[in-house]
Structure 1
C-alpha cells in the first residue's frame, strides 16, 4: 500500500506540474482519507491548491503537514506562499524564514523568502539579499536569477536586474516574463513614462504600489456593497417598500465616500497611476468597473423605488456585480513558484 501511495503522490506532482492542479487535488483526496497522517500527501495537496489559485485550502493543508512533522522546510515554504497570496505578508515572512532555518542550503526556501520579503511593506529592501543567496546555492537554475532580477527592479538596481535577467534567459531562453522584464530594464533610463514626471526607472515600483492600493480599495468596497445590497434584498422580500429608499441611498453614499476619500488624499500622480492600473491590469480594472456598476444600479433602484416602482431585479443584479468583483480581485493565481 505504501508503494501505491508513493505512486499516487508522484502522479499528483506530475499533474500539478502539467497545469492540471484540479485533477491532482481529486487524486490526493482519497489518499488523505485513507492515510490522514501522511505529511507528504498534505504537502502535495497544498502545492496543487496553490497552482489552482486556492490559497485558503493550500494554507490549511500546509499547516496540517507542519503539525504531522513531515518535511518542515517544504511545509513552511508552502505555508509562506499561501500566506503571501492571502495578503498576509508578515506571517508569510515568518513562515519563509522558518523554512530557511530548517533547510538553509535549499535554494527554493531562499526564493520564497525573497518573494515574501518583497511583498512586506517594510522589509522589501531585504529581498535582494535573500535572492542573491538563492543564486549562490543554485546557479544552474533560472528561477533564482529571475527572483533576483525582480528584487533588483524593485530596488531600482538596474545593473543587477539586467545581469540577473540575462542569466535567467541563458538558462531558459523561452521565458516570456523574464524577457519582458529585461526589455523594461533596457527602457527604464531611455524614456520618460509620462506619469506625472515619473521616469521609467521609477515606474515599475510606482505601478506596483498603485495596484496594491487599488486592490485593497476594491476589496473594502466589495464587502460594503455586497453585504449592503444583500441586506436590502432580504429586507425587500417579498415586495420592497419606499422605506428602503433611505438605507439604499445611505449605502450608495458610504460606497462613494469609501472610494473617494483615499483617492482624494493621493497626489495627482498617484491618481493617474491608479487610473493606469485600472486600464492595464484587466482583472482589477474589471473588478473596479463592476463595483461602480453595482453602486450605480443601487442608486437607480433607490430612485425608482422612491418614485413608486417596485421590484428587486435591479438590486439583485447589483449584488451579483459586487460578488463578481470580489471573485475577480481575490488573492489568486500568480506566476508559478518552486515547490
Structure 2
C-alpha cells in the first residue's frame, strides 16, 4: 500500500510536470511543515518553487534538501538554476560545476552548466558550448542540449552552428517549440538580408539558397524527411478537442430543441451545426504548414488514442450528418442524436488528456 507522503509527493510531481507548479507548492507546504526532516519532500518543493517562478524559495528548499541528504547532483542543479534566475551568476556557475563534479556522466548536469554560463552577462561561451556538446554526446536522443547549444551559438553570432543545432533538436523532437521559434527567426533574418542585398529579387533563384530543412512558407522550419510536419500532431489534437466539444454541445441543444421545435427548424439547426464544424476545421487546419497533412494517416496509426478519438468523432459526425439529411427529408425524431452526442463526449474524453500528454511529454521531472 502506498505511503500517504509518497502519494502526495507523486501527485506534486505530476502537478509540476503538467505546468501547475503553484498547486504543487500548495500541496507540499503542509507536508514539509509536518515532516521538516523529509529530504525528498523538500526536494520536490524546491523543484515546484523553481517552476512556479519563486527562485528564492527554490534555493532555500534545495539547500535544505541538500543538508538532509537528497541527491547532491540534483540539488546543486536546482540551486544553480535558482541562483541564475536571481542574477547571482558566479554562485550559479559554482553550483553547476558542483553538480557536474557529483555526476559527470549525467547529461542534465552538463546542460545546467551550459545554461547558467550562457545566462551570465560575461559568461564563458566556449565553456558553455563545450558543456552543451558533452550533454549531447551523453544523451544523443535528447533535444534540450542542442537547443541550449543553438542559443549559445546565436548569442555569439555563429548563425551556422545555431541553425544546425536547432534543426538537430527538431529532428529529435518535432514539437520543440523553442528550437522552432528561433529557427524561424533566423530564417526571417536571412530572408531580409537577401532582400536587402538583391532588391527586386526577393524570391526566385535566391529563395532556393535557403538551407535544407527550412520551409519557404512564412519562414517556418519544414519537417524532417519521414517525420510528420512540425506541429501537425498538436494541430490534430486541438482539432479533435474543438470538434468534439462543438459537436457534443450542438447535439445536446438540438435534442433539447426537439422537444418543441418542428422537423424543418431542426433540419436548419443541423445544417448550422455542420457549418460551424466545417468552419472550425478550416480555421484549425489552416495552421498546418503547406503539405503538412500528407502523413496524417501514418501519424494517426502511430497514436492509438488519437485514432480512437478520430474514430469516435467520425462516427458522431456521420450520424449527425445522416440525421440532418433525414430531418430535411421529413423525419421528425431526435433519437439518433443521442448516440452521436455520446460518441462526441467520448471523443472529447479521449482527446483532452491526449493533448495534455503531448504538451508535457517532454516536460522535465522535478527531480530528474
The TM-score range, normalised by the shorter chain, is 0.5 to 0.7
How far apart, CA to CA, are the structure 2 residues paired with 1:155 and 1:83? 23
Could you tell me how far 1:169 is from its partner in structure 2? 0.9
The C-alpha deviation readout for 1:159-179, integer Å capped at 9, x for no partner, is 221121111111221233211
Are the equivalent residues in 2 in contact too, given 1:59–1:79 (CA < 8 A)?
A: yes
Q: Deviations over 1:80-127 (max 9, x none)?
A: 111111111111101111011111111111111101101223333121
1:177-216 map, 5 Å: 177-192=178-193
Unaligned runs of 5+ in 1: 194-335
| Distance of 2:154 and 2:193 partners within structure 1 | 16
CA contact (8 A) 1:108 1:338 kept: no
Tell whether 2:22 aligns with 1:22.
Answer: yes
Map 1:309-324 onto structure 2 (within 5 A).
none
Task: Give the CA deviation at 1:8.
Answer: 1.5
Aligned pair 1:71/2:77, yes or no?
no
Contact 1:152 1:160 in 2 (8 A): yes
Structure 1 segment 254-333 matched on structure 2, within 5 A: none
Q: Distance in 2 between matches of 1:188 and 1:93?
A: 32
Q: Does the Cα contact within 8 Å between 2:17 and 2:364 map onto a contact in 1? A: no
Once the two structures are superposed, residues 213-237 of structure 1 have per-residue CA deviations (whole angstroms, 9 ceiling, x without a partner) of xxxxxxxxxxxxxxxxxxxxxxxxx
What pairs with 1:118-157 in structure 2 (closer than 5 Å)? 118-125=118-125, 126-157=127-158
- Give the deviation of 1:189 after TM superposition: 4.6
Q: 1:264-322: per-residue Cα shift (whole Å, max 9, x none)?
A: xxxxxxxxxxxxxxxxxxxxxxxxxxxxxxxxxxxxxxxxxxxxxxxxxxxxxxxxxxx
1:165 and 2:157 correspond: no
Deviation of the 1:337 alpha carbon? 6.7
CA distance in 1, matches of 2:106, 2:189: 33
* Equivalent position SS for 1:11: helix
Rounded to whole Å, the distance in 1 between the matches of 2:173 and 2:24 is 26
Greater C-alpha radius of gyration: 2
Q: Distance in 2 between matches of 1:85 and 1:123?
A: 14
More helix by share: 1
Aligned-pair CA distance for 1:41: 1.3
How far has the Cα of 1:13 moved from its partner?
0.7
Per-residue deviation, 1:47: 0.8
Q: Work out the CA distance in 1 between the residues paired with 2:104 and 2:5.
A: 29
Q: Is the 8 A contact 2:128 2:152 kept in 1?
A: yes
CA contact 1:99–1:109 (8 Å) conserved in 2: yes
Aligned pair in 2 of structure 1 residues 128, 188: CA closer, same or farther (>3 Å)? farther
- SS of the residue aligned with 2:146? helix
Measured in 2, the distance between the counterparts of 1:2 and 1:113 equals 36
RMSD over aligned Cα atoms? 2.1
Taking the aligned partners of 2:155 and 2:365, their CA distance within structure 1 comes to 21
User: What is the match of residue 243 of structure 1?
Assistant: none
Other-structure match for 2:56: 56
Q: Give the TM-score normalised by structure 1.
A: 0.55
Q: Is the 8 A contact 2:12 2:27 kept in 1?
A: yes
Give the secondary-structure state (helix, strand or coil) at the position aligned to 1:28. helix
CA contact (8 A) 1:66 1:72 kept: yes
Aligned to 1:34: 34
Match of 1:93 in 2: 93
Q: State yes or no: 1:174 paired with 2:175.
A: yes
**Structure 2: how far apart are the matches of 1:103 and 1:35?**
28
Query: How far off its partner does 1:21 sit?
Result: 0.8
Instruction: Quote the Cα distance in structure 2 between the aligned partners of 1:130 and 1:183.
Output: 25
Q: How many residue pairs end up in the alignment?
A: 197
TM-score by length of 2: 0.50
